[in-house]
Every structure is written in C-alpha cells, then in structure tokens.
C-alpha cells in the first residue's frame, strides 16, 4: 500500500471521492472547498503558516456554554432545601406527570412501542426530519380545514424542547430579539441567550386569567424582532387563551410582520367547558411554527418525541426556511427511530377515554388546590383552565418574615416538607407554582400544610412593628 494520505471528500449523500495528497486543489492550497485540511505523507496535519504551537494547555468552555443558564436550576440550586424530618416530602415542583406513578400512559401506547420494537424495522437511522410514514400520521392527526398539513409540513424532533430550539434557531440571528411571555417557560430564555439573541418579556395579566398585555407586547416590537412566542395552554400558569384573545395576538403579529412560535405542547389538555383552538387555525396571514410532542398529553416525557408543524401563510416562510429546518435537524440526525415507528399507532389508537380521564383528574386536583388555598390568608391562587399547573400569589406584605417568594418557599420546605417552585424562576416574583399531578390525598395533605405554614407566619397589615411596640 502506498504512503500517500487520502482526503475523503463528503457531500450531502456520502462519499464523493478521494484525492491523493500530491494533487492540486482548485485554489492551490491545502484546504478543500469543504474546509478540510490536507494531510501530509506521514498523515500528520500540515502546520498553518505563521502559527506557532501552544506552549501550555489552555482549554476553556465556549462562549455559548458560558452563556447557557437555566433560571430554574440557578434558583433551585441556590436554595437551602432541608425538609422537616418529621414530615414526608411532598414535591409540587416537578413538571413531570410520571413522578408519582398515579398517571400511567394508556396500554395502547405501551403496546405500540412493543410492536415497534418487535418488528425490528426501526433499529437504524431514520431521516433527520423523521420517517415519511410517521410525519404523514402527524399531518393527518393535526390537519384541519383551517390549517391543512401534509407530511412536508412536519419535522420530527427529540422532544418538544428540541423543536423549540430548532424554531428559534431558524428564525433568529445573533443580535435579534424575541418576545417571550412573563411568566413563561424558562427554556426560551436559556436557548436564546446562549445564541446571542435578546429576550424581551411581555407581561401576562393575573387579574385577567393570565391574558397577554397586548399594549405592552406591541410596545416591545422593533425592527430586530424576529419571533413572538405564544404558549397556549400555559406553563407555568395553566391558563388557556380564548379564541378572541388569540385573534388579537395574531393582529399584533400581522401589523408588525412578526412570525409566531406557538408552544402547544399542552394543546388539547384543557378542562371541560373550555376550548383551545390552535393559533394556526385562526391565522390568515401570520406564518406559524407550532411545537408539540408526546410528553404531556400522552404522559411519556422521557420518550423524547416532539415535532414542528409548519403553517406557512402566503408563502412567507417559503422553501428557504423549510430547508433551514432540515439542515438544523441534521445536527443530531433526528428523533428516536423506535418511537417514530410507534407514532402512527399511538396517534390513531389511543382511546378518547384515556384523554378524558387525565383531564378529569387534573381538573379535580386543580379545584381541590384552588378551593383549599383560596381561604388561606395572604394567598391568591388563580384557577387554571388546562395544562397541569396552578399559580399562587403571595401577599408578601403580610409575611414580613420572608424576603420574597424564594425565601417563602424555602422555609415552606424546612417547616412543612412541601416544595413549590418560586415563580422568580419564571421571572415573576411573589408567586409560586404548584404542579397538580400528585395523587389526590397528597394534594389535600400539601394544601393543609401550606395553610398551617401561612397561619403561623401571616401578619395583618395593622400589626406592624410600631403597633407591636405599643
């Protein structure tokens, strides 16, 4: 075998060919058009002209790594969480419906996974955007006359979080800004800031069941606004926008020609008597990337199956943005192939009774929590309409022992072994979030402990320090 080193050139379809080292490249350099350096005869890299080797190790994390921060982890990791040893811990903080084992997925979902595994057809690499059959199944499941879909409008992802990542990445450049609800899911900011994208927070109004403050939202838009994020139903609020309110949001986006990233992971998880139309079904001219997944509605967050539904309006996105999503999906070579193989059966065979039972439980637990805490002095719970969360306002003036919601919830753990997530994690202080997926008896117990804690620390407004000294 000769002593020449060969450079393998790659194109989008695989190996294109080999060039021996002593052949000339078009530009006469040792670098090919793909950016790969030539190899010398002894297979060592050619030193770059004018560069000296490093004299010492100096390995540092990238700027992207340093700029990545999850606000929830930043707050929770800094809290002193020492539960009361005399009371078992009740965690109302984790947005995972599987934690307590009381909300299993349906047997048909499990069987679909077993069948996919047993078929031995899904052990290899799938296309980066997903199998055509699986994408077609999703298009059929979510298509409507107002918002029709084909397989070409679907990108499969590794969970809804990757769908959000791809959507932000394809719409935004460093220096752009995105509009994010406040309170809102912390991942939006985590992803955007790491990419050099500015985050502008638009207010949700607790006194209006967490509707968006449309005037505030519109005031934040400028020429570098590249995306409006709308979360409906909401994490952390559990709110569901009405059709009329969604239409008002769409009008703002239309006036300023701003595309929408619709986080609809909790779509269809709404309580009886409440409707939740998708944003795309109400949009006539605003293009929308709708992000969803199996995690919450099917109660399998660990399976990591998500998707982007491309709702282009008037060809605003066009082929370039679609191709951009395809290119970005190729960075990790797609979602889990086995779950893709099970997807069609999961979508088509899960009985309606499963969805109804899940929603019924979440509504019942929400009502228990809301009714119990509504009579606790100093607390103002806001009844949700969907998802699996409930937000509770704290009248901090009546709790002078604590500096804010983080201090309040930290001491709640210390005294009562109940952990609620302080809403400062969602950049919305003086609230805390409760996850309502725990077993009913645990919810009742937790509410009783919260009541006891508040009764101990509550101070009427008239009982200030001057009054107590008299």
Q: Each residue of 351-367: pLDDT tens digit?
A: 999 999 999 999 999 99
3-state secondary structure of 339: helix
pLDDT of residue 465: 45
Q: Which residues contact 123 (CB under 8 A, 6 or more apart)?
A: 337, 338
How much is the average pLDDT of 202-224? 98
**Can you give the pLDDT at residue 38?**
52
Looking up tokens 């003036």, which residue turns up?
A: 397
Look up the pTM and report it: 0.86
Q: What is the mean pLDDT of residues 147-163?
A: 98
Across 58-72, average pLDDT: 89
List the beta bridge partners of residue 261.
229, 289
**Which one of 3.40.640.10, 3.50.50.60, 3.30.365.10, 3.20.20.140 gives the CATH number of domain 108-349?**
3.40.640.10
pLDDT in tens, 392-412: 999 999 999 999 999 999 999
Dihedral, 56, 61, 66, 67 alpha carbons, nearest 10:
120
Q: Could you give the residue ranges of the DSSP H alpha helices within 195-275?
A: 214-219, 243-256
Radius of gyration (C-alpha) of the chain in whole angstroms: 26
Q: What is the tens place of the pLDDT at every residue in 7-49?
A: 334 343 333 444 444 444 444 444 444 555 554 555 455 555 5
CA separation (Å) from 270 to 139, 361, 424? 22, 12, 26
Average pLDDT over residues 203-230: 98
In whole numbers, what is the pLDDT of the chain averaged over residues?
90
Q: What was the pLDDT predicted at 35? A: 54
pLDDT for the residue numbered 468: 41
| Sheet containing 379-382: order of strands | 379-382, 389-394, 431-435, 421-422
The C-alpha angle with vertex 440 and arms to 437 and 442, in degrees rounded to 5, equals: 90
Higher pLDDT, 28 or 254: 254
Among the listed residues 8, 28, 10, 27, the one whose alpha carbon sits nearest the alpha carbon of residue 18? 8
pLDDT at position 21, please?
42
Question: Which structure tokens are listed for 315?
Answer: 């060809």
pLDDT of residue 32: 47
Which CATH topology does 71-101+353-457 take? 3.90.1150
Mean pLDDT of the 76-102 span: 90
Q: What's the confidence (pLDDT) of residue 37?
A: 52
* Residue 4 pLDDT grade (very low, low, confident, very high; cuts 50, 70, 90): very low
Per-residue pLDDT at 198 exceeds 50: yes
Q: Give, for 451, the enclosing helix (H) or strand (E).
A: helix 440-457
Bridge partners (DSSP) of residue 15 are: 10
Question: Which segments of 14-84 are extended strands (E)?
Answer: 14-20
pLDDT over 90 at 267, yes or no: yes
Segment 231-240, tens digit of pLDDT:
999 999 999 9
pLDDT, average across residues 270-275 = 93
Q: Where are the domains of the chain?
A: 71-101+353-457, 108-349
380 band by pLDDT with thresholds 50, 70 and 90: very high
Rounded to an integer, what distance in angstroms lies between the CA atom of residue 413 and that of residue 450?
10
């Amino acid at each position: 075998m000769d002593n020449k080193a060969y450079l393998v050139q790659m194109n989008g379809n695989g190996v294109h060919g080999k060039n021996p080292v002593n052949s000339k490249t078009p530009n006469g350099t040792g670098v090919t058009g793909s950016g790969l350096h030539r190899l010398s005869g002894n297979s060592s890299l050619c030193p770059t002209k004018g560069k000296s080797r490093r004299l010492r190790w100096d390995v540092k994390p990238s700027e992207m790594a340093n700029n990545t921060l999850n606000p929830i982890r930043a707050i929770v990791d800094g809290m002193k969480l020492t539960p009361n040893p005399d009371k078992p811990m009740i965690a109302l903080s984790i947005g995972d419906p599987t934690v307590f084992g009381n909300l299993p997925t349906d047997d048909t979902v499990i069987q679909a996974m077993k069948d996919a595994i047993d078929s031995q057809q899904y052990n290899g690499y799938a296309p980066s955007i997903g199998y055509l059959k699986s994408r077609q199944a999703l298009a059929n499941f979510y298509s409507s006359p107002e918002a029709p879909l084909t397989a070409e409008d679907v990108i499969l992802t590794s969970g809804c979080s990757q769908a959000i990542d791809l959507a932000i990445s394809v719409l935004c450049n460093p220096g752009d800004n995105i509009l994010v609800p406040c309170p809102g899911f912390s991942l939006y900011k985590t992803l955007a800031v790491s990419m050099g994208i500015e985050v502008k927070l638009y207010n949700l109004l607790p006194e209006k069941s967490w509707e968006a403050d449309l005037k505030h939202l519109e005031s934040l838009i400028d020429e570098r606004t590249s995306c409006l994020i709308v979360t409906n139903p909401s994490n952390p609020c559990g709110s569901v926008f009405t059709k009329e309110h969604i239409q008002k949001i769409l009008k703002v986006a239309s006036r300023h020609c701003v595309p929408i990233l619709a986080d609809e992971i909790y779509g269809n998880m709404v309580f009886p008597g409440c409707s939740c139309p998708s944003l795309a079904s109400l949009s006539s001219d605003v293009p929308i990337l709708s992000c969803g997944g199996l995690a919450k509605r099917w109660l399998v967050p660990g399976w990591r199956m998500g998707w982007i539904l491309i709702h282009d309006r008037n060809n605003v996105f066009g082929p370039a943005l679609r191709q951009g999503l395809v290119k970005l999906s190729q960075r990790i070579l797609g979602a889990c192939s086995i779950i893709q193989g099970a997807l069609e059966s999961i979508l088509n065979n899960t009985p309606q009774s499963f969805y109804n039972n899940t929603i019924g439980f979440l509504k019942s637990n929400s009502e228990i929590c809301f009714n119990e805490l509504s009579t606790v002095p100093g607390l103002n719970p806001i009844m949700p309409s969907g998802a699996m969360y409930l937000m509770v306002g704290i009248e901090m003036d009546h709790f002078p022992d604590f500096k804010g919601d983080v201090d309040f919830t930290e001491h709640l753990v210390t005294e009562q072994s109940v952990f609620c997530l302080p809403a400062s994690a969602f950049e919305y202080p003086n609230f805390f979030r409760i996850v309502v997926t725990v077993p009913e008896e645990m919810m009742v117990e937790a509410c009783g402990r919260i009541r006891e804690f508040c009764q101990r620390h509550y101070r009427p407004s008239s009982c200030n320090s001057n009054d107590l000294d008299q």
